[in-house]
Structure 1
Amino acid sequence: MQDIVLANLVAIGEVPAPYQHEEGRVRMMLERFSECGLQSCSTDATGNGLAILPGSEGAANILMFSNVDTLADEHAEPSLAFRKDEIVGPFIGDNSMALAAMASLPILLERLQIRLKANIIFMGAVRMLGHGNLYGLSGFLNNSGMPIRYGLSLEGVQLGRLNYACLGQLLCDITVRLSEDYNWVQFGATGAIIPMNDIINRINKIPLPRRPLTTIVFGLIRGGVSYRNIARETVLSFEVRSESADLLNQVAQQIEDITEDVAANSGVTVKFDIFARRAPGGLDISHPLVRQTRAIHTALGISSQMYPTTFALAALVEKKTPSIVLGLTTGTRRNDLPELEEAAAIEPIWTGLAQLVGVLLTIDGGLCDGA
């Protein structure tokens, strides 16, 4: 199995999949699905790569998925490198390792002579990250017509990860743009960067409670073209996260007030765009799916890492589908590696796969029902 998993990891992980250009990686996923005997290997109307492992009864569907898109530049050519006990490259943890595990799992189940009663729907979901706003997963859930009994979202790292609830979330962009009549030759002209700095400082002073847990994560800022040119436009991309939907609305209003005030006093145009809103929710820690997964972790010597997530679980929560997020191996982002590269340990992958098989068996055996 080791050779199969690592071969799938390289085959999938070295196919570029920037946002809105995931077709090549989806094709590779479908090839791997077809080679291991899955049925209905195809893309849906949204562009997701789908395949089905039929169950002996087929009365229920388990959805197993991960995102195929990455945050890479459109022209990036990813390359993976093997070292003594790890593999290094871009987006291994998010989410090439998870895709490789999905492509290998049918072979593992066959070798273990395991056939579930339920169908497993495997999906490589497109346009999930950033402005994609879970487009692939939401499109499938809204349009497939296939009832999903349980959802399993896979992440490459970290082994022991067990997300069963999600925070509420706002995904936001603030754009500061100079007016057309801006006085470029005036000495001391600051351009778009200084007003953006003012906005960031003021957002950072918004009081945030510890309970309900609320935080603002500044993820990306970009603007300007060179050292010597005044920046015409600056864009800040960030998230607001909270356990409370009401607090999200309050913070959004405060940020709106800040941007309007800076625009009025700086002579620049400021646009505050909330392009995604996700409600908090999910399972309780006492849900049988969570309890059974924790028991599997204990049996395998895995330390469960339980915390609310901010990603794909939100789309399943909206549909009231019991779901969890699982990690498959351990990984690190070290200072000796480029910004987008990660190192993932090879040995823990097998424990991660054993965890996955165990969770599937408990779901299929009805041990997670009745909540």
Structure 2
Amino acid sequence: MHAVEQILQDLPRLRDAAAGLRDLFLSDIVLIGEIPAPTGEEAARSRFIADRFVGAGLHACSVDEKGNAVGLLPGETGRKTLLLAAPMDTFVMEAGDQTIEVAKDRMVGPFVGDNCIALAALTVLPTLLDRLQLRLNSHVVMVACAGSLGRGNLEGLRHFLSSTRTLPAAGICLEGVQLGRVNYASAGVFRGKIHCRLPDDYNWAQYGATGTIVPMSEVIGRISRIPLPQKPLTTIVLGSIQGGLSYTNIARETVLQFEARSETLDELNALREKLEDIVEEVAAQSGKHLLLDTVAWRGPGGIDIADPMVRNARAILGALGVQPAIYPTTSQLAALFEAGIPGVTLGITTGERRNELDEIDEAVAIEPMSAGLAQLVANLMAMDE
């Protein structure tokens, strides 16, 4: 195993080598990002990434039956296998909206931070290791995962882990942002939709007829009044609401999308019961049809904060001058823990969503990317035999 102290001393060389691949890295980010890949329709992006794996010299490159792009970087001894995974799918975006702009210090475009950068990190990593003349002892299997978001519910990575002949000894889940994150725990997630529809016999001429938006606003108000504990940390995000067509038409259907998270399964179950009660009560009081639709459900998991993977990741960030951020994640880490694989989630650069940008557009910084790639290599070295 590489001594951690030696790895920390080697970080400037790793960062310089990563900076030397700036143009290749940015090019791959743009090429990947401009291929639409909504959940369930990742085929074109998957083929591109698999081709890049082939071009980078990976072995056993393929697209599996779930649409994952997979490649193997052989190790010197291969006594164990490490996993690098990044989600490949995005939320739906219209054709023509996927242009990524590259400026001097930042990139702007749809889902560029979530998760084009992490995918490009997979495609350039073999070249970076060649530049460094670094050969790991462990095999490294790289997976660009389909079916991660929404109803996909980590289907791609779960399929890979359940079908692979050699279960990885440990893994790193990559996200484009934020550099500094060291997620070693996976929050439990209840992701769903609340549908409010008018009954077939609804009296459209009735004075004061409100349609479905007003009952949904009552649902939202009641959700906002649910007391949420800080320990264990429990949150609920109301991510999207859609309903109605115009100023004058009564909305026939309104849909609320949400995600509830908690560090414990008991709290997540309790929150689910409260949401079910709210939906049933508002339906009874309003005379509208309300339905709670479960999109994804998974329990919490994690490794200890004292685990060497976590300690090393924090030390590497500190040596790079980056403040570590420790918090539970809803990333692909959950699939690793379900399979009994220890792992962490790391970010590659910094980014933000600005008010002047469209809803799907993200702005990410270019300069920190070399530190993010150096961090990735250093963590692989620390995990290596």
Superposed pair shares fold, TM > 0.5: yes
Deviations 1:133-174 (A, max 9, x none): 111111111222331111111111111111110111111211
2:72 aligned partner: 52
1:136 aligned partner: 156
Question: How far 1:250 sits from its partner (Å)?
Answer: 1.3
Greater shift, 163-172 or 142-151, is seen at 142-151
1:369 aligned partner: none
1:206 aligned partner: 226
Query: 1:277 aligns to what SS in structure 2?
Result: strand
2:15 aligned partner: none
- Structure-2 separation of matches of 1:234 and 1:83: 40
- Structure-1 separation of matches of 2:375 and 2:367: 14
Query: 2:236 aligns to what SS in structure 1?
Result: strand
Question: How far 1:191 sits from its partner (Å)?
Answer: 0.6
- Structure-2 separation of matches of 1:218 and 1:243: 18
Write the mapping of 1:217-366 to structure 2, written as runs, cut at 5 A.
Answer: 217-365=237-385
Question: How far 1:130 sits from its partner (Å)?
Answer: 1.3
The partner residue of 1:127 within 137, 147, 154 is 147
- Structure-1 separation of matches of 2:60 and 2:114: 26
- Structure-2 separation of matches of 1:295 and 1:251: 37
- Structure-2 separation of matches of 1:76 and 1:266: 42
Question: How far 1:74 sits from its partner (Å)?
Answer: 5.0
4+ aligned runs moved over 4 Å, structure 1: none
Q: Does the 8 Å CA contact 1:15/1:77 hold for their aligned counterparts?
A: no
- Structure-2 separation of matches of 1:85 and 1:311: 27
Aligned residue-pair number: 365
Greater shift, 19-28 or 76-85, is seen at 76-85
Q: 1:76 to 1:140 in 2, by over 3 A?
A: farther
Write the mapping of 1:170-181 to structure 2, written as runs, cut at 5 A.
Answer: 170-181=190-201
Q: TM-score, normalised by structure 1?
A: 0.96
Q: TM-score, normalised by structure 2?
A: 0.92
1:165 aligned partner: 185
- Structure-1 separation of matches of 2:96 and 2:203: 38
Question: How far 1:176 sits from its partner (Å)?
Answer: 0.7
- Give the root-mean-square deviation of aligned CA atoms: 1.2
1:80 aligned partner: 100
- Structure-2 separation of matches of 1:3 and 1:210: 44
Query: 2:331 aligns to what SS in structure 1?
Result: coil
Question: How far 1:76 sits from its partner (Å)?
Answer: 4.8
Q: 1:163 to 1:76 in 2, by over 3 A?
A: farther
Q: Does the 8 Å CA contact 2:97/2:110 hold for their aligned counterparts?
A: no
The partner residue of 2:56 within 14, 36, 42 is 36
User: Match of 2:253, as an amino acid?
Assistant: E
Matched, 1:107 2:127: yes
1:368 aligned partner: none
1:63 aligned partner: 83
2:210 aligned partner: 190
List runs of 5+ in structure 2 lacking aligned partners.
1-20
Q: Does the 8 Å CA contact 1:16/1:77 hold for their aligned counterparts?
A: no
- Structure-1 separation of matches of 2:326 and 2:54: 35
- Structure-2 separation of matches of 1:159 and 1:230: 46
Deviations 1:316-370 (A, max 9, x none): 11112111000101112112211111111111111111101100001003xxxxx
Determine what percentage of the aligned residue pairs are the same residue. Answer: 50
